Chain A
Amino acid sequence: MTDYSLKVDNISKYFGRRLIFKELAFQINNNGILGISGSNGSGKSTLVKIIAGINSPSSGKVIHSNDNIEIIPEKLHNYLGFVSPYLVLYEEFSALENLQYFSKIRGVKFNTEKISLLLEKFLLNGRQDDLVKTYSSGMKQRLKFIFALMHNPRLIILDEPTSNLDSAGKDVVYQIIEEESSSNIVIIASNEESDLLICKNEIKLEDFKPALSA
């Protein structure tokens, strides 16, 4: 297992003149669960998108390193798993077709054994050949977890991970998060108390809004 580190170095984000957060900094190495909390519109999704390299910060930078070598943005997707309510998979394809195409586009071998195991864990076994458009919102959410975990990522970012899930789905998600956090970094952005309870550390975005904290 390689050494993976995520360093968030004094990042600030503005949308126009509106401050989302200011001078946010933390570092996390190798494994563990980090929670990001904040009220609706506080910038949780913005922060996780910046960490994932999808959005840019207004100032500061995010450094991902593997074995002390900085990962270039073009290669970051190989180390990253991401789940969020606004992540949409192809509805015209089946779950298996989606996963096969994403493996090919990512350039990794489609691991049939791992996919079967994940389908079973996320209670989608037997429905993998059905078109995604026939899935319920909870099933789509569980499929997103398979999409995020299929390539063994070192950093798993979960934005509102239990949205649309029933209690059985939530239990599976918490169990997977515990398993993954022993060897990988897991970041959870959520308002749900039960989601934040499993986090070892927590960042409250309200603490990085000078006007509010004053």
Chain B
Amino acid sequence: MTNKAYALYQKDFHSEMRTRYAVNSLAMFVIVAISVILFSVGNETITQSLTAGLFWVVIFFSAMSGLSRAFVSEEERGTTLALQLVAAPTTIFSGKLFFNIVLVFCMNIVITILYSALFDSFAIKNFGLFIVAFFFGCAGLAIASTIIAAIISKAGAKGTLYPVLSFPILLPLILTSVQLTLMAFDGSTFSDAKFELAIIICYDVIMLTASYLLFDFVWKD
């Protein structure tokens, strides 16, 4: 199954390079969102808790602008049937998830670099904790976004439904990620953050399991 899912990822990557469905909207959103925050802040010094919050707000809305494309573009182009005819639902979900994970990590690395360069208050004291929070936060975001994209791709008002449906599902992940990022700014140790780390890891495992169980029903009419 891994090879087939990887082939689907390759197909999506190649398709993305040709059509720029997701990359352009993600890039534009990141640039616009960070510019607006910079203009709003002006010469004021913002607190670290506000910086951590704004960092994950940009990540959340950027994800909303691009990650739904994995399934929505197939539905809009009418190619869903072709995929249904060549692979099992688990292969499709794995391939799409892999593509979204790569997209989320690339996008979030760019956002982190821009924040580090543009915001003085984005000063990480415990880099290890930040990396762990970043990894599980991005993974959770990709998993949840992928299954929500699959659900909303069959609906009429996809654009509106995606952030509305995502918000309550992603809220525990975003709040925990903000908390962990703040702890990484403070220089808290891993043992100080073990409760938040347990929440974020459990969230990822639950979302991944639920997504694989649910996808069969979502994928077939």
- Chain A interfacial positions (CB closer than 8 Å to B): 49, 52-56, 74-75, 77, 80, 82, 84, 86-93, 97, 101-102, 104-107, 147
Residues of B within 8 A of A56 (CB): 220-221
Contact with A along B1-26 (1 / 0, CB 8 A): 00110011011001100110000000
- Closest residue to B1 on the A side, CB-wise? A107
Q: Given A55-B220, A74-B90, A88-B77: A101 and B7 within 8 A (CB)?
A: yes
- The listed residue (A49, A86, A102, A105) touching B91 by CB distance below 8 A is A105
Q: How far is the CB of B193 from chain A (nearest CB, A)?
A: 40
Q: How far is the CB of A140 from chain B (nearest CB, A)?
A: 12
Q: Bound state CA distance, A121 and B150, in angstroms?
A: 38
Whether A105 contacts B77 by the Cβ 8 Å rule is no
Whether B10 contacts A77 by the Cβ 8 Å rule is no
Residues of B within 8 A of A89 (CB): 79, 82
B84 at the interface (CB under 8 A from A): yes
- The listed residue (B19, B81, B86, B90) touching A106 by CB distance below 8 A is B86
Whether A88 contacts B81 by the Cβ 8 Å rule is yes
Chain B residues bordering chain A, tally (CB within 8 A): 27
Whether B78 contacts A88 by the Cβ 8 Å rule is yes
Q: Given A88-B78, A105-B7: A54 and B15 within 8 A (CB)?
A: no
* Seed contacts A77-B88, A93-B15, A101-B11; 15 additional CB < 8 Å A-B pairs: A54-B84, A56-B221, A86-B78, A88-B79, A88-B81, A89-B79, A91-B77, A92-B18, A93-B18, A97-B14, A101-B7, A104-B11, A105-B83, A105-B95, A107-B3
Interface residues of B in 20-74 (CB under 8 A from A): none
B187 at the interface (CB under 8 A from A): no
Q: Bound state CA distance, A88 and B87, in angstroms?
A: 16
Residues of A within 8 A of B220 (CB): 53-56
- The listed residue (A52, A74, A90) touching B79 by CB distance below 8 A is A90
Q: Bound state CA distance, A147 and B84, in angstroms?
A: 13
Whether B90 contacts A82 by the Cβ 8 Å rule is no
Q: How far is the CB of B207 from chain A (nearest CB, A)?
A: 22
- The listed residue (B11, B79, B88) touching A75 by CB distance below 8 A is B88
Residues of A within 8 A of B91 (CB): 105
Residues of A within 8 A of B11 (CB): 90, 101, 104-105
Residues of A within 8 A of B4 (CB): 104-107
Q: How far is the CB of B72 from chain A (nearest CB, A)?
A: 15
Residues of B within 8 A of A92 (CB): 15, 18-19
Q: Bound state CA distance, A91 and B78, in angstroms?
A: 11
Q: Bound state CA distance, A91 and B77, in angstroms?
A: 9
Q: Given A90-B15, A102-B86: A54 and B78 within 8 A (CB)?
A: no
Q: How far is the CB of B64 from chain A (nearest CB, A)?
A: 24
Q: Given A88-B79, A101-B7: A77 and B87 within 8 A (CB)?
A: yes
Q: Bound state CA distance, A195 and B81, in angstroms?
A: 23
Residues of A within 8 A of B87 (CB): 77, 105-106
Q: How far is the CB of A173 from chain B (nearest CB, A)?
A: 19
Q: Bound state CA distance, A147 and B83, in angstroms?
A: 12
Q: Bound state CA distance, A52 and B221, in angstroms?
A: 12
Residues of A within 8 A of B18 (CB): 92-93
Q: Bound state CA distance, A148 and B188, in angstroms?
A: 58
B117 at the interface (CB under 8 A from A): no
Residues of B within 8 A of A106 (CB): 4, 86-87
7 contacts between A and B (CB under 8 A): A82-B81, A82-B85, A88-B77, A88-B79, A88-B81, A93-B15, A101-B10
Q: How far is the CB of A56 from chain B (nearest CB, A)?
A: 7
Residues of A within 8 A of B88 (CB): 74-75, 77
Q: Bound state CA distance, A75 and B4, in angstroms?
A: 13
